[in-house]
Structure 1
Amino acid sequence: MKPNKLDLNSVDGTQLNLEALYQIAPSCFTEVKDDKTGELRHVVNFKTLRQLLGDNAVEDADEMYQFTWPGKQEARREAARPTTKTLRPVVEDSVDWEHTQNLYIEGDNLEVLKLLQKSYMGKVKMIYIDPPYNTGNDFVYDDDFAVSQDDYDLFAGDVDELGNRYRKNTETNGRFHSDWCSMMYSRLIVARSLLTEDGVIFISIDDHEQKNIRNICDEIFGESNFVSNFIWEKRLNRENRKEVSSRHDYILCYIKQKSEQQRSLLLLPMNEKALSNYGNPDNDPRGLWKSDPAHAQAGHGTKAQFYTLTAPNGKKHDLPSGRCWLYTEPVMNEAIKENRIWFGKDGNGVPRIKTYLNAKERGLTPESLLFAKDVSTNEIAKNELKRLFDGIAVFETPKPVELLKYFAIIASKSGDIILDFFSGSSATAHAVMQLNAEDCGNRKYIMVQLPEETPEDSEARKAGYDTIPEIAKERIRRAGKKIKEESPLTTQKLDTGFRVFRLADSNFEEVKKAPAEYDQSQLDLFLNNVKSDRTDLDLLFGAMLSWGVQLSLPMTSEEVDGKMIYSVNDGDLVACFADDITENIVKAMADKQPLRVLFRDSCFARDDAKINVFETLKQLLDWSEEEAIKNIKVI
Structure 2
Amino acid sequence: MVNDKLNLQSLNIPEEKREELLRLFPEVRTEGGQIDFDRLRLALGDMVDTGKERYGLNWPGKSACFKAIQTPSMGTLLPAPEESVNFDTTENLIIEGDNLEALKLLQKSYIGKVKMIYIDPPYNTGNDFIYPDNYSESLQTYLEYTGQTGEEGKRFSSNTDTDGRFHSKWLNMMYPRLYLARDLLRDDGVIFISIDDGEVAHLREVLSELFGEENFIVNVVWQKKFSPQANAVGFSDSHDHILVVAKNKEVWNPNLLARSEEADARFENTDNDPRGPWSSGDFTISLTGGQRGNQFMKTGVSQNIYEIITPSGRILTPPKGRCWGSTPEKFAQLVADNRIWFGESGNNVPRIKRFRSEVQDGIVPSTWWPHTESGHNQEAKQELNATLGDAAGTFDTPKPVRLIKRMLDIATKNEDKEIILDFFAGSGTTAHAVIKQNGSDNGNRLFILVQLPELIPESSPARRFGFETIADITKERVRRVINKLNDEDGNEKNQDRGFRVFKLAESNFTPWDGSVDQSPEDISLQMEMHIEHVRQGRIDQDILYEILLKSGFPLSIPVETLQVDGKTVYSIHDGIMLVCLDRNLSMPSVQAIVDRLPERVVFLDEGFAGNDALKVNAKEACKLKNIVFKVV
The TM-score bracket by the shorter chain reads 0.7 to 0.9
SS in 2 for 1:633: strand
Quote the residue 1:606 is aligned against: 611
1:531 aligns with 2:535: yes
Q: Which of 195, 199, 202 is residue 212 of structure 1 equivalent to?
A: 202
Alignment CA distance shift 1:49-1:336 (3 Å): farther
1:238 aligns with 2:228: yes
- Distance, in Å, in 1 between the alignment partners of 2:602 and 2:36 is 38
Quote the residue 2:4 is aligned against: 4
SS in 2 for 1:170: coil
Q: Which of 534, 552, 555 is residue 556 of structure 2 equivalent to?
A: 552
Q: Which of 608, 629, 632 is residue 632 of structure 1 equivalent to?
A: 629
1:405 aligns with 2:392: no
Contact 1:278–1:357 under 8 Å retained in 2: no
1:130 aligns with 2:117: no
1:185 aligns with 2:207: no
State the AA in 2 paired with 1:481: N
State the AA in 1 paired with 2:361: R
Alignment CA distance shift 1:373-1:561 (3 Å): same
- Distance, in Å, in 1 between the alignment partners of 2:499 and 2:240 is 30
Q: Which of 407, 411, 436 is residue 438 of structure 2 equivalent to?
A: 436
Deviation at 1:112, TM superposition (A): 0.5
Alignment CA distance shift 1:419-1:519 (3 Å): closer
SS in 2 for 1:168: coil
SS in 2 for 1:389: helix
- Distance, in Å, in 2 between the alignment partners of 1:301 and 1:448 is 58
1:512 aligns with 2:513: yes
1:96 aligns with 2:86: yes
- Distance, in Å, in 1 between the alignment partners of 2:274 and 2:585 is 71
SS in 1 for 2:40: helix
Deviation at 1:594, TM superposition (A): 3.3
Contact 1:98–1:554 under 8 Å retained in 2: yes
State the AA in 2 paired with 1:274: A
Q: Which of 220, 238, 258 is residue 249 of structure 2 equivalent to?
A: 258
Instruction: Output one character per residue of 1:452-475: Cα deviation in whole Å (capped at 9) or x when no partner.
Output: 100121111222211111111111
Instruction: Output one character per residue of 1:548-586: Cα deviation in whole Å (capped at 9) or x when no partner.
Output: 100011112123344211122322432111133346644
Q: TM-score, normalised by structure 2?
A: 0.84
User: Over aligned residue pairs, what C-alpha RMSD do you find?
Assistant: 3.9
Deviation at 1:399, TM superposition (A): 1.2
State the AA in 2 paired with 1:501: F
Deviation at 1:512, TM superposition (A): 3.2
Instruction: Output one character per residue of 1:8-39: Cα deviation in whole Å (capped at 9) or x when no partner.
Output: 1111221233244345x415521233xxxxxx
SS in 1 for 2:548: helix
Contact 1:3–1:614 under 8 Å retained in 2: no
- Distance, in Å, in 2 between the alignment partners of 1:254 and 1:234 is 21
State the AA in 1 paired with 2:366: E
- Distance, in Å, in 2 between the alignment partners of 1:179 and 1:132 is 12
1:50 aligns with 2:50: no
State the AA in 2 paired with 1:234: K
Q: Which moved more, 1:604-613 or 1:115-124?
A: 604-613
1:224 aligns with 2:214: yes
Identity %: 39
SS in 1 for 2:8: coil
Contact 1:106–1:469 under 8 Å retained in 2: yes
- Distance, in Å, in 2 between the alignment partners of 1:46 and 1:500 is 45
State the AA in 2 paired with 1:16: E
Quote the residue 2:494 is aligned against: 493
SS in 2 for 1:166: coil
Contact 1:451–1:468 under 8 Å retained in 2: yes
Q: Which of 539, 544, 547 is residue 543 of structure 1 equivalent to?
A: 547
Contact 1:267–1:365 under 8 Å retained in 2: yes
- Distance, in Å, in 2 between the alignment partners of 1:284 and 1:26 is 64
Instruction: Output one character per residue of 1:344-368: Cα deviation in whole Å (capped at 9) or x when no partner.
Output: 3779986858565377x52111121
Quote the residue 2:75 is aligned against: 85
Q: TM-score, normalised by structure 1?
A: 0.84
Instruction: Output one character per residue of 1:263-307: Cα deviation in whole Å (capped at 9) or x when no partner.
Output: 3x2111121122223355677776655567898998699977989
1:344 aligns with 2:341: yes
1:370 aligns with 2:369: yes
Quote the residue 2:313 is aligned against: none
SS in 2 for 1:167: coil
Q: Which moved more, 1:456-465 or 1:298-307?
A: 298-307
- Rg bigger for which structure? 2
Alignment CA distance shift 1:338-1:204 (3 Å): farther
Q: Structure 2 unaligned runs (5+)?
A: 311-315
Give the paired residue count: 605
- Distance, in Å, in 2 between the alignment partners of 1:70 and 1:91 is 42
SS in 1 for 2:557: coil
State the AA in 2 paired with 1:609: L
Deviation at 1:110, TM superposition (A): 0.7
State the AA in 1 paired with 2:631: V
SS in 2 for 1:105: strand
Contact 1:292–1:355 under 8 Å retained in 2: no
Alignment CA distance shift 1:28-1:480 (3 Å): same
- Distance, in Å, in 2 between the alignment partners of 1:342 and 1:589 is 74
- Distance, in Å, in 2 between the alignment partners of 1:301 and 1:214 is 39
Contact 1:401–1:428 under 8 Å retained in 2: yes
Q: Which moved more, 1:300-309 or 1:414-423?
A: 300-309
Contact 1:306–1:325 under 8 Å retained in 2: no
SS in 1 for 2:395: coil
1:276 aligns with 2:278: no
Quote the residue 1:36 is aligned against: none
Alignment CA distance shift 1:318-1:544 (3 Å): farther
SS in 1 for 2:212: helix
- Distance, in Å, in 2 between the alignment partners of 1:300 and 1:527 is 84
State the AA in 1 paired with 2:577: L
State the AA in 2 paired with 1:632: F
State the AA in 2 paired with 1:49: L
Contact 1:132–1:138 under 8 Å retained in 2: no
Quote the residue 2:184 is aligned against: 194
- Distance, in Å, in 2 between the alignment partners of 1:301 and 1:406 is 41
State the AA in 2 paired with 1:447: L
Contact 2:67–2:135 under 8 Å retained in 1: no
Quote the residue 1:38 is aligned against: none
Q: Which of 563, 570, 574 is residue 567 of structure 2 equivalent to?
A: 563
Deviation at 1:589, TM superposition (A): 3.9
SS in 2 for 1:434: helix
Deviation at 1:395, TM superposition (A): 2.5
Quote the residue 1:381 is aligned against: 380
SS in 2 for 1:567: strand
